[in-house]
């Protein structure tokens, strides 16, 4: 038997052997891992509440927030590329216009698109608030036989 056919057969046999193991991969985004308490992600912004005080931009250690001038108003813009998710901006905001979230997987086509001006930040925050939750939330657990397996938690 030619060696290439032999290798194909070996690969198929190996595949069948592994069918008895529970899957180690998740069919993302339908299934996601549970986030631990306090997990920090994208900062959500509500422009309607914002006073334009600029405290969030002043305190941000990563310079992820920059103030923009819009007519006679000042409003913050946000860079997810720079944000280190420390939460200082949320704590200092006097108007509760900023809110932490556990969203870490917001996708952008190019890195420049991660720089959001005030309108884009507000719009993106509205979309993320309305995002459909994952159909399945799982927690990885150590298993003496399988090494690791996923338990459904929601």
Q: Are 91 and 133 in contact (CB under 8 A)?
A: no
User: Using CB under 6 A as the criterion, what x/- string covers residues 4-43 for binding ligand SF4?
Assistant: ---------------------------------------x
**Considering only residues 65, 101, 103, 116, which one is a binding residue for ligand SF4 as defined by CB under 6 A?**
65
What is each CA distance from 34 to 40, 60, 62, 118, in whole angstroms? 13, 28, 27, 30
**Considering only residues 44, 60, 103, 116, which one is a binding residue for ligand SF4 as defined by CB under 6 A?**
60
**Considering only residues 42, 44, 77, 88, which one is a binding residue for ligand SF4 as defined by CB under 6 A?**
88
**Considering only residues 26, 52, 106, 123, which one is a binding residue for ligand SF4 as defined by CB under 6 A?**
52
Residue number, 76 or 103, with CB nearest to ligand SF4? 76
CB of 121: closest distance to ligand SF4 in angstroms? 10
121 contacts ligand SF4 (rule: CB under 6 A): no
Q: Are 108 and 120 in contact (CB under 8 A)?
A: no
What is each CA distance from 118 to 4, 14, 21, 46, 76, in whole angstroms? 58, 53, 48, 10, 5
Residues in the chain: 154
Residue number, 98 or 103, with CB nearest to ligand SF4? 98
**Considering only residues 11, 12, 13, 84, which one is a binding residue for ligand SF4 as defined by CB under 6 A?**
84
Rounded (5°) CA angle 24-29-33:
55
Pairing of strands 136-143, 73-79: unpaired
Q: Are 45 and 78 in contact (CB under 8 A)?
A: yes
Residues found near ligand SF4 in the complex (CB under 6 A): 43, 50-56, 59-60, 62, 64-65, 76, 83-89, 93, 95, 97-98
């Amino acid at each position: 038997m030619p060696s290439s056919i032999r290798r194909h057969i070996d690969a198929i046999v190996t595949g069948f052997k592994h069918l008895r193991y529970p899957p180690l991969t998740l069919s993302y985004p339908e299934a996601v891992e549970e986030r631990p308490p306090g997990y920090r992600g994208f900062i959500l912004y509500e422009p309607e509440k914002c006073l334009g005080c600029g405290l969030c931009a002043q305190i941000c250690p990563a310079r992820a927030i920059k103030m923009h001038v819009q007519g006679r108003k000042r409003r913050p813009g946000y860079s997810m590329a720079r944000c280190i998710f420390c939460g200082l901006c949320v704590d200092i905001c006097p108007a509760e216009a900023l809110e932490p979230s556990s969203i870490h997987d917001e996708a952008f086509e190019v890195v420049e698109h991660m720089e959001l001006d005030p309108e884009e930040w507000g719009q993106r925050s509205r979309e993320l608030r309305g995002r459909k939750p994952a159909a399945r939330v799982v927690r990885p657990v150590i298993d003496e036989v399988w090494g690791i397996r996923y338990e459904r938690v929601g």
